Structure 1
Amino acid sequence: MIYSRNAMSGGDEVPTVCVEHLEGAPLSFMTTAAALRMQTLTEPAAVVPTTTRTIKQFNRIQLPGAPWRYAITSNGGNILVDGVPDMSWRIDLDAKVRAGGATLSEVSAELRSRIDDSWVTKFRIADHLFAYLVVKPKAVPDGFLAEWDAWCRTRGWSASQQGRKIYTMPLAVCKSIAVAEVRRRLTESGELVTGARTLAAGDGALDAEMLRAADSAIRPRHGELEQLNWTSPNLTITQASGIMAGEEIIDWLLRASPAHED
């Protein structure tokens, strides 16, 4: 939904609004139209921002429509309730990660042994849950991702790349599981009617399961899933790419919302 200047891809002439700053400098943008429609989307729908970003990274974003009753960060590792991490969710998830195979320390040590500064610019541990690399994409050794993912899979983890980042993620940490939990809570509280449809949008391999699990889903014509030519019977693909795809996605969500259906 938000784009850096480098990722806008053809939206240079479109009015934009900055929705994220880093150390005082503008970092991420939406089209002005997308920002206004995002605000409108919160009226007919329970909007749940869902991201692989850490809590700290998510809190940098001034996404139209806030404050959020629920938000999902850390690829499903954390559920924020009125902006506060739900510790019972996190404790249960950490237990599932431990039971699933290798520890974060073991995986991180192995990953460090396989990389060097010629193609990796940053190594980060995110919310004590998973690791990611910031890389020079063209310098990544041939076969690295496939070999690393194969090592991870036998130990309860996986690896995927999105742009300049390579994520190493426990299989237990999954957006779709967190989305299902938030949906359950919203239904139990009466904030969602029973049988309400789940709509989802995403562009990376870490979004695939969430998109597949939704009643209807949409992805942009760019990003990792586009490169993989990923599809699903419930999936719509935008006509646009770059920042204009973000606008198209919000329009699609509005058309699919209960108010529009009525």
Structure 2
Amino acid sequence: MLPWLPERPVSFPPVSQALRDPDGLLAAGGALTPQWLLTAYQHGIFPWYSDDQPILWWSPDPRMALFPDSLRISRSLAKRVRNGDFRVTFNRAFAETVDACAAPRPGQPSTWITREMRHAYIDLHRLGYARSVEVWLGERLVGGLYGVALGRIFFGESMFSQATDASKVALVHLVRAMQRGNGWMIDCQMHTRHLASLGARDIARAEFIGYLEECLANPLSTGGDHPLPDWPMPEADSCAETTSAFT
């Protein structure tokens, strides 16, 4: 049976108990408070569910991850990064980025980014953990991504694009920021061909947990301390960059 988590205490079963089918489903219940979410990420767990479901917690095996030095930039993307008309900012429009990621997509009439999830990540953003990268065309937000930054890891949640390559440009800027600040890994959660084409790869869950142990302070503790990012992500009031800045 799938374990049901009460709202207190904040505690997860070992990820080794996650189901194989569906891959990685670990538990249901709990809450979406900052304490629950940050503890989940430190354990290699993330929430993913629909409006008609309880909160579901996942830890798939294998896990998809992108290491900054492995980012694969095609010639067309490199050209767009060099010559595009995009403007890129960090943490300037977090809520708007989440809303754009939550918008229905072709063939997907519903979204897993529920109202409850939206509020939860906005709370994490206010606390300094949830971060966004925004891509603008003029004054219009046309692409971006958001996720949670802990220690040297960025746990990616979602990305969107309303202009060609806009989400990829956001990813390039995130990777460059991590490279400048010695960020180690982007957690991509589950395998997609799109992310694989950009250099992400599947790693065993045990290997992923090993990275957490190395990159985060007391990652397997359920105590109240959670490591803020230790690679510098530009702040909103000083981060405006144009893609032409890259060669």
- TM-score of the aligned structures, taking structure 1 as reference length: 0.24
Report which of the two structures shows the higher radius of gyration computed on alpha carbons. Answer: 1
Please identify which structure carries the higher helix content.
1
TM-score scaled to structure 2, two decimals?
Answer: 0.25
